Amino acid sequence: MKEIEIGNAKAEPGKLTYGFIESLDHPTGIIEKVPVMIAQGRENGPTFFLTANVHGNELTGIAVIHQLVTDKLTQELKGTVVAIPTLNPSALRRNHRSPEFDERDPNRLYPEGKFAEEEEEEEIDKDYPELYEQVANKIYSYFEKYADYHIDFHNHSLRSIPYVILDRVFYENETKKEEAEKLFKQQKAMIEAFGVLTCSEFPAKKYIKMKLHRSVSGATLNSLRIPAFTAELGENSVIIPQVVKGSIKGTRNVLKWAGMLEGPREEITEFLVPKPHEQLRRCYHPRAKQSGIIRFLVNPGDQVKKGQPVALITDILGRKLGDGYILTEYDGYMIALRSEMTVYPNDPIAEMGIKDDAPLVVPIPSKKIN
């Protein structure tokens, strides 16, 4: 069996073991510890990493890991599941997106790998990573050493549906294109096995500009070249039992796809799973043209048509602004709706899945990103 040791957790065939990665020393003598669970079967197989809660108010993935990664799993498993129920313990403690010691988005701080020479110069000296980057580098080193596959669990917002994100796969030059296409096919097959709505990430230049290549799964996929994806499991800050149950099914489906579990694929029936007939991508849309108060006319998961009103917009006294409607300019699906009632000009009021015409296997964009 594969020997795996992460922090003070060590894999044992047929057992579920526990431990912690000591990731950061605090000036007050407290050590920031990242929890680790290692479930290893008695037969050889791949090593699959499951991670959650890089944003401290995104909770569903913790419940999925706790209910899936059990002693019972080790009795049917071929290979090893490494689960990290929270990548961001201090943020979990205060139900906050970022850790208490670093207010930047932690899901944009994983190693940049092959993209390092392509990014704009930053003010921060790259030889001296800041605090959460130090934590991320340590966690990433275990991915690099052991991982064969990876899923990172997230939650989108208070009014959202579960969906998974298909990252574009980047390559450096034409000699690397075939390898990139193979990696993309593996990622896509994993996602199809999971069994929920799929949206590809933003187009290539925006993807890099937003530093999505430095997300947990983005860095795993595009720098380590390990098949990986992000699963957005609906509402944040709450745990919905039906979403947990359906997400466990989806994760087990992927473990079956990887040859680590036996049995047929299970259909997810616990929550809405839209079934579009074309590839979708994420899009912040529609946007408000003026400040006002909004009230939605659609629900998360609804299919909408170009020109359809999706929200009412009024002033604070309830009087219509303009004709009183915000329309969508695209056909697509409503993935997530804005939680706030107030909007300003150009604020996105929702995130949609719209038709994606852009290539999914692409060369790394040039250094200067417009």
pLDDT at 128: 84
pLDDT in tens, 135-169: 999 999 999 999 999 999 999 999 999 999 999 99
User: What are the residue boundaries of the structural domains of the chain, listed by start?
Assistant: 5-257, 282-352
Percentage of residues in the chain having pLDDT higher than 70: 96
pLDDT at 125: 66
Q: How many CA atoms are closer than 13 Å to the CA of 256, on its beta-carbon side?
A: 15
pLDDT at 114: 74
Residue 56 has pLDDT above 90, yes or no: yes
Say which amino acid occupies 289: K
pLDDT at 118: 46
Section 176-199 average pLDDT: 97
Q: How far apart are CA 240 and CA 229, in angstroms?
A: 22
pLDDT at 127: 76
Section 39-53 average pLDDT: 97
pLDDT in tens, 332-350: 999 999 999 999 999 999 9
Tell me the two tokens of residue 272.
Answer: 């809405």
Tell me the two tokens of residue 7.
Answer: 């922090």
Section 63-73 average pLDDT: 98
DSSP state of 95: T
Residue 301 has pLDDT above 50, yes or no: yes
Residue 261 has pLDDT above 60, yes or no: yes
pLDDT in tens, 94-146: 999 999 999 999 999 999 887 765 445 555 567 788 899 999 999 999 999 99
- Pick the more confident residue, 62 or 120: 62
Tell me the two tokens of residue 330.
Answer: 């695209």
| C-alpha closest to that of 108 among 250, 252, 231, 217 | 217
Q: Is the CB of residue 304 less than 8 Å from the CB of residue 298?
A: yes
**Which of 2.40.50.140, 1.10.3720.10, 2.40.50.100, 2.40.50.180 is the CATH number of 282-352?**
2.40.50.100
pLDDT at 69: 98
For the chain, give the mean pLDDT.
94
Residue 233 has pLDDT above 70, yes or no: yes
pLDDT at 369: 40
Residue 225 has pLDDT above 70, yes or no: yes
* Contacts by residues 248-254 (CB-CB < 8 Å, ≥ 24 positions apart): 248/64, 248/67, 248/68, 249/195, 250/193, 250/194, 250/195, 250/196, 251/50, 251/64, 251/68, 251/151, 251/194, 252/68, 253/193, 253/194, 253/195, 254/48, 254/149, 254/151, 254/190, 254/193, 254/194
pLDDT at 115: 77
Class (C level, CATH) for 5-257 = alpha beta
Q: How far apart are CA 329 and CA 309, in angstroms?
A: 10
